[in-house]
Chains A and B, each alone.
Chain A
Amino acid sequence: EADIYQTPRYLVIGTGKKITLECSQTMGHDKMYWYQQDPGMELHLIHYSYGVNSTEKGDLSSESTVSRIRTEHFPLTLESARPSHTSQYLCASSTTGADTQYFGPGTRLTVL
């Protein structure tokens, strides 16, 4: 069983607020990912990191930003939330040489 955590699990916030979604893993995985998923829809990769100080944009354009200062921590930030950002955000991690990604429980974000 993978140890990957996301906080908060649910967040309702007003337009224009700055928010940070937290993701942490205790497995020492070097690769971490952020996916965005609308209800009943497939997942889309928005950011990924292959190690400390390495971040890349994914397949789906996103106004969010990420940082990777520590191996275990990969936070996602929205500087000014908008209703179009309402979605579920899933964090995942994997280790180099292994192909399986393990997912956190997700953060369901609602922007009013």
Chain B
Amino acid sequence: AQTVTQSQPEMSVQEAETVTLSCTYDTSENNYYLFWYKQPPSRQMILVIRQEAYKQQNATENRFSVNFQKAAKSFSLKISDSQLGDTAMYFCAFMTSGSRLTFGEGTQLTVNP
């Protein structure tokens, strides 16, 4: 069975600073997908970034980037130039081809002015 672990229940960062959220996973599969979703106070789940395991290049979406370490089974999210609107619960998620999403426990990020 696949598991996803987010070891940081809460984090905070000052506006305009950079913050990194950690995620590790466990799988015996070789082909899979990894995601970061954010859930602001509105409770809607919003896709932030996705990574395909067969791609060595780290995914980037504007201020959001990942550090994907396949051998270490690590998938951290870096948020640069943090904004107040980044305050949300962030979930790391994992999926093998054709299967279902497995979510981590979430990290509550607070961006302070």
Q: Which residues of A contact B (CB under 8 A)?
A: 33, 40-43, 45, 48, 58-59, 88, 90, 92, 99-106, 108
Number of interface residues of B (CB under 8 A): 22
B35, B44, B104, B105: which has the most chain A beta carbons within 10 Å? B44
Question: Which residues of chain A come closer than 8 Å to B89, judged between CB atoms?
Answer: 40
Query: A42-B91, A48-B100, A59-B100 are contacts. A99–B33 as well, Cβ < 8 Å?
Result: yes
Which of A33, A41, A104 makes the CB contact (< 8 A) with B105?
A: A41
Q: Nearest-CB distance from B55 to chain A (Å)? A: 13
A-B contact count (CB 8 A): 46
Dominant SS at the B interface?
A: strand
* Contact between A103 and B45, CB atoms less than 8 A apart: yes
* Contact between A99 and B95, CB atoms less than 8 A apart: yes
Complex CA distance for A101 and B108, rounded to whole angstroms = 21
Considering only CB atoms, which chain A residue lies closest to B106 in the complex?
A: A42
Chain B contacts with A in 78-105, Cβ cutoff 8 A: 89, 91, 95, 97, 100-101, 103-105
